[in-house]
A and B are shown apart, each in its own frame.
Chain A
Amino acid sequence: MNFKKFFALASENGIEVSEINKNKSSELSIELFKKEITSYSIKENQKIVARGIYNNKMGFVSTEKDDKDTPLFIINSIKQGASLNETDDEAIIFKGSEKYKKKNVYSKELESWPTDDILKLLFTLEEKMYAKDSRVSDVEVFFSKETAESIMANSYGLVLKNKTNYFYFGASATIKEGSEVKSAFNMFLSNKPSEINLDEFVDETVKKGIDKLHGVTIAPNSYKAVLSRDVVSSLLTALISNASSEDVQKQSSLFAGKLNTQIVSPKITVEERPLEKNIFYQYFDDEGVATQNKVIIDKGVLKTYFYNLVTAKKDGVESTGNAQRAGSKMGIGFNNIFLKPGKLSEKELIAKVKNGVYITDVTGLHAGLNPSSGDFSLQAEGFHIKDGVKGDPLTLITVSGNLFKLFNDVIAVGNNTKLLISATCVPSIAVDNIKVSAE
């Protein structure tokens, strides 16, 4: 579809200003099981997401078709949506930021990675997983590589382009000893194949599963705890989602009215760094506003909300570059969340807690965690902490608490930060009390 022609046609049809996002992506996914490629798939996808202002109201549409009927389908959908739209939100399409900090994060190394080498890597991974320990009974290996290109253009003449690629591979292993069955799961995400250390990955994955064997129970109670990076990432992301200005304005965030006040422990400092040069790097948001690195929580004090153009206008501030589409509607999002590390290693955190629990994983977030109230009750995995060292694994437990209270009760923040698949870069932390339920 020719953008200029489309904008002209839209204008002829009464759509004052319009905007098109065209995304093209291609993906290769491979799965292995028992030395066979059990699944090999290629996805080629293109999608046009459009919006436009008709009679001062915004209308949205998205389509995967790009044929002769597409422009009129888009125009009619925008008009229909805008005609029904009753929000007081100002309809804004952006003319552009003064400056964009564009960096190239596209990896040529990944682009030129031969499929045969990928397959060799996966078969080697599978072999090493089985060879690592005789208790590894089943291994599923998976791989995915994606390239995405997007162009955003609007009738004001703004044109922004982005091209990214990344890959991930992972393994899910079943560990059996007698009648005991445990599982381990691990993933590696990057855009540079040369960063892979297969032996380290295998060691880490198999150890995760083996360590869970011979679990013991624990008395239901409140415990001091060390939370692993993965757990911190899940809980911190849920906490930070309350900084959405849209939720604040609609009275459904407990961060409402809390700007520049102490909301969590002074040990907690959180930044959003969309311009950090990693695979989550993003130099403009979904409204075309230039993104910026910023402090969200400074030593426990809430410094800003996440804004898009519409919510910023309501509060009389500038957009923070946090517009993110949910479907085709504009909402609020964030990425590359960094929790400032402390001084202690994870081992030292465990020593500091002395007696308590070390929580390695939590599951069931979509059902057991309410981000707006902060209440959570989640299936968890972990270990005893006894006399300052990691002890026995714990069988089937839940942890529950409240996010606001939990991040208030921080004893210490670790120094073991790592960029995780969840687009967060966080260390482990030690907290004063978390409620554990068990058999």
Chain B
Amino acid sequence: MLNKKLALDVINEAASTGADFVEIFYEDTYSSVISVENGKVNNVINTNISGVGLRLLKENRSVYGSTSDVSRKSLLNLATTLSKSFSGEKIIKPFDAFTKVKAKELCKVETPLTEVPKEDIVALLKSVNKDVKDYDPRIVRVTSSLAIDVHSTEIFNSDGKYIPNKREYGRLALLSIASEGNKMETRFDGPGGQAGWEFFTKKLDLKALAKENASKLIMMLEAKECPSGKFPVIIGNGWGGVIFHEACGHQLEASSVAKGLSVFSGMKGEKIANDIVSAYDDATIPNEWGTYNVDDEGNIPTRNELIKDGVLTGYLIDDFNGRRMGEKGNGACRRQSYKFEPTSRMGNTYIANGKSTKEEIIKNTKLALYAVSFNGGSVNPSTGDFNFGCSEAYIVKDGKILEPVRGATLVGNAKDILKHIDMVGNDLAFGQGMCGASSGSIPVNVGQPTIRVDEIVVGGRGGSIDEF
């Protein structure tokens, strides 16, 4: 907890040279990771991250400072140093007390993860670990871990607002490696949420998760190399949403849109996708991985419509970048920790359900790659060029799933791909990930129903798809 009088003094000092907005972000985060490798607890780590981030804005300029030393002397010193970037009279109206902003609690939990005995966590991790390891002798290394992060934050700003917040994350990470001769394959599954111990003991089917992890690992170990060339690709629901996240989501963030650096800058109201595509970012879905009660500048999140029936309808905006765009922030400002200046980011981003079933999409496809899951990907926001590495993929031929293929990479351009989505399924699901950008690594959900893209460049080590 930061002393309110100190917060007031820091804001006053920081504002002394004409900043038009000052914000203090105080954080005290405790993380613990317990991990089990091949049946034995091999790692228990407790970490504390704590400090203050101080942000000063003046028109389109920002200065930011952070320190892990939260003493009065250190914070006032930081305020004085940062204030020297501006010169002028104080313009912020004086106030002598903060008004507390209370946000709606979106993530209700029965049993907080911090209250679970470590022995219970170890038992759960060992059980999952054993189920994966016992599946096949070729599975040589299995690590199961549970990471718990409890973020306690307080925002004080020159609008006189005081916004306390707390978020508690839990994520089970299951990483397995199989080897046979000169072949080696890895598989990662990482379900998580802000949902308490009950998420892991009641909502998740751990037996099914272990079986999925192990069986898909062995399947991919034995799979043929993926063909290369340009052809249709069906992208699976849930984690498949990473393609929308990378290819489009990042380019709808005000951090690149405001400066005219995104391929979607200034395109609101224009058709950017096929009619059947609608997309949202909704950080208010209860208990989800990318949900937050307030964003990291104290704004209340909302369900942001990004694309409606193919037309670009909205961006993800933080207050600072919003200044260049003439718009207010829409609750999409985030940061990894106090060490990062916050900016517009995603929360739970997804393509909305369409009308087709997954079965119909497969049935209506003559020859394609079916990319079910991905290791991740990246995008160059100024050109829109993106790439994704598939962790699980199949060849679909004559309306049927033929066989798995390994080592597929999809590359394309954000502007093109949305127009090439020609079927949208009705099986929307989410996948949990960590998204890295200028304001650090943050938990996000990606999501979508099964979709089909009529053509995309696929890189792989196999021959032509026509050989299937």
Q: Name the A residues within 8 Å of B230 (CB-CB).
A: 438-439
Which 4 A-B residue pairs are closest in the complex by CB-CB distance? Answer: A398-B459, A367-B389, A437-B228, A379-B387
Check A80 against B184 for contact (C-beta < 8 Å): no
CB of B112 closer than 8 Å to a CB of A: no
Contacts of B412 in A (CB 8 A): 396
- B76 sits at the interface (CB 8 A): no
Interface residues of A in 138-164 (CB under 8 A from B): 138, 140
B409 near A400 (CB under 8 angstroms)? yes
In the complex, which residues of chain B have a beta carbon less than 8 angstroms from the beta carbon of A369?
389
Proximity bits, A396-422, B CB within 8 Å = 1, else 0: 111111101000000000000000000
Whether the Cβ atoms of A174 and B382 lie closer than 8 Å is: yes
Answer whether A42 and B47 are a contact pair too, CB < 8 Å, given A364-B377, A398-B411.
no
B378/A85 in contact, CB under 8 A: no
Roughly how many angstroms separate A40 CA and B49 CA in the complex, as a whole number?
Answer: 22
Per-position binary interface string of chain B over residues 54-72, scored 1 when its CB falls under 8 Å from any chain A CB and 0 otherwise:
0000001111111111000
Considering only residues 105-139 of chain B, those with a C-beta below 8 Å from chain A are 118, 122
- Contact across chains for B376 and A370 when beta carbons are under 8 A apart: no
Contact bitstring B357-385, A, C-beta under 8 A = 1, else 0: 00000000000000000111110101111
| Chain B contact surface mostly | strand
Chain A interface, DSSP helix/strand/loop, else mixed: strand
Are A398 and B387 in contact, CB atoms less than 8 angstroms apart?
yes
- Rounded to whole Å, the gap between the CB of A45 and the closest CB of chain B is 5
Q: Using A367-B378, A379-B411 as known contacts, say yes or no to A372 and B64 having CB atoms under 8 A apart.
A: no
Measured between beta carbons, the chain B residues less than 8 angstroms from A44 are 65-69, 74, 78
How far, in whole Å, are A435 and B460 apart by their CA atoms in the complex? 8
B408 interface hit (Cβ, 8 Å): yes
Residue in A closest to B62 when the chains form the complex, CB atoms: A39
B409, A138: Cβ atoms under 8 Å? no
A363 within 8 A of B: yes
Which residues of chain B come closer than 8 Å to A379, judged between CB atoms? Answer: 385-387, 409, 411, 459
**What's the minimum C-beta distance from B147 to chain A, rounded to whole angstroms?**
10
B contacts, CB < 8 Å to A:
33-34, 37-38, 40-51, 60-69, 74, 78, 81-82, 85, 118, 122, 140-141, 177, 179, 182-186, 226, 228-230, 259-261, 263, 339, 341, 374-378, 380, 382-389, 406-409, 411-413, 457-461, 464
Whether A372 contacts B408 by the Cβ 8 Å rule is no
Report if A1 contacts B (CB, 8 A).
no
From the candidates A39, A42, A46, A377, name the one contacting B81 in the complex (CB within 8 A): A42
Interface residues in A374-396 (C-beta closer than 8 Å to B)? 375, 377-379, 396
* B44 & A64 in contact (Cβ 8 Å cutoff): no
Residue of A nearest to B436 (CB): A366
Q: Can you name 25 A-B pairs with beta carbons within 8 Å?
A: A39-B62, A42-B65, A46-B69, A59-B44, A61-B46, A62-B47, A63-B48, A84-B41, A88-B40, A138-B261, A174-B261, A183-B380, A250-B38, A252-B177, A366-B375, A366-B378, A367-B374, A367-B387, A367-B388, A370-B185, A373-B183, A379-B387, A396-B412, A396-B413, A400-B459
Q: A42 to B66, Cβ gap below 8 A?
A: yes
Q: Does the CB pair A439–B457 fall under 8 Å?
A: yes
Contact present for A364 and B389 (CB under 8 Å): yes
Q: Nearest chain-B residue to A42 (Cβ)?
A: B65
A343-381 interface bits toward B, Cβ cutoff 8 Å, 1 = contact, 0 = none: 000000000000000000001101111101101011100
A364-B377, A367-B388, A378-B459 as given contacts; A41 in contact with B341, CB under 8 Å: yes
- Contact, CB under 8 Å: B184 / A138: no
| Complex partner residue of A254 from B44, B51, B184, B376, CB under 8 angstroms | B184
Q: How far is the CB of A149 from chain B (nearest CB, A)?
A: 14
A220: CB under 8 A from chain B?
Answer: yes
Interface residues on A, range: 35 or more
Interface contact B261-A435, CB-CB below 8 Å = no
Q: How far is the CB of A41 from chain B (nearest CB, A)?
A: 4
Complex Cα gap A174–B384 (Å): 12
- Nearest opposing residue in chain B for A242, CB measure: B184
Cα separation A400 to B458 with both chains bound (whole Å): 11
Closest-by-CB residue of A relative to B406 is: A375
Considering the chains assembled together, what is the distance between the CA atoms of A402 and B407 in angstroms? 10
Task: Give CA–CA (A363, B179) in the complex, Å.
Answer: 26
Question: Nearest Cβ in chain A — how far from B90, in angstroms?
Answer: 20
Query: B253 CB to closest chain A CB, in angstroms?
Result: 15
The answer, among B40, B61, B260, B382, for a CB contact under 8 Å with A172, is B382
Tell me whether A47 is interfacial, beta carbon within 8 Å: yes
A400 contacts B228, C-beta separation under 8 Å: yes
A contact residues around B458 at 8 Å (CB): 398, 437
Q: How far is the CB of B82 from chain A (nearest CB, A)?
A: 7
Asked if residues A437 and B382 are in contact (CB atoms below 8 Å), the reply is no
CA distance A377 to B81 in the complex (A): 47
Q: How far is the CA of A36 from the CA of B258 in the complex (A)?
A: 14
Chain A residues with CB under 8 Å of B38's CB are 250
Task: Please determine whether A85 and B457 come into contact, CB atoms closer than 8 angstroms.
Answer: no
Cα distance, A399 to B229, chains bound together (Å): 11
Q: Bound complex: CA of A42 vs CA of B464, how far in Å?
A: 53
**8 Å CB contact of B459 from A62, A85, A399:** A399
* Residue of A34, A80, A140, A437 touching B46 (CB-CB under 8 A): A80
Cβ of A100 within 8 Å of any chain B Cβ, yes or no, is no
B409 touches A45 (CB 8 A): no
Min CB gap A181→B, angstroms: 5
- Give, as a whole number of angstroms, the nearest-CB distance from B34 to chain A: 7
* Bound Cα distance from A435 to B409, whole angstroms: 13
Least CB separation from B221: chain A residue? A373
Q: Nearest-CB distance from A375 to chain B (Å)? A: 5
Instruction: Tell whether A56 is near chain B: CB-to-CB under 8 Å.
Output: no
Decide if A132 is an interface residue (CB 8 Å cutoff).
Answer: no
Which chain B residues lie closer than 8 Å to A299 at the CB level? Answer: none
Most A C-beta atoms less than 10 A away, residue of B43, B64, B185: B43
Residue of B nearest to A364 (CB): B387
A51-72 vs B, Cβ < 8 Å mask (1 yes, 0 no): 0000000011111110000000
Contact B45 A363 (CB under 8 A): no
Min CB distance B7 to A, Å, is 18
Give the residue among A42, A46, A88 with the most B Cβ atoms within 10 A.
Answer: A42
A113 within 8 A of B: no
Q: Known: A60-B44, A64-B49, A65-B50. Contact between A251 and B118, CB under 8 A?
A: no
- Residues in B with CB closer than 8 Å to A363 are 378, 380, 387
Contacts of B81 in A (CB 8 A): 42
Q: Which of B68, B85, B259, B378 has the most CB of A within 10 A?
A: B68
Q: How far is it, in angstroms, between the C-alpha of A159 and the C-alpha of B41 when the chains are bound?
A: 31
The answer for the CA separation of A377 and B225 in the assembled complex, in Å, is 11
A396 to B179, CA, bound (A): 33
Partner of A252, one of B44, B82, B184: B184
Neighbouring A residues of B374 by C-beta, 8 Å: 367
Evaluate whether A41 and B63 lie within 8 angstroms (CB atoms) in the complex, with A64-B49, A183-B380, A439-B457 already known: yes
Bound-state Cα–Cα, A401 to B387, Å: 16
The residue in A64, A370, A399 that gathers the most chain B C-beta atoms within 10 A of its C-beta is A64
Closest chain-B Cβ to A346's Cβ sits at a distance in Å of: 24
Cross-chain contact of B461 among A47, A73, A77, A400 (Cβ < 8 A)? A400
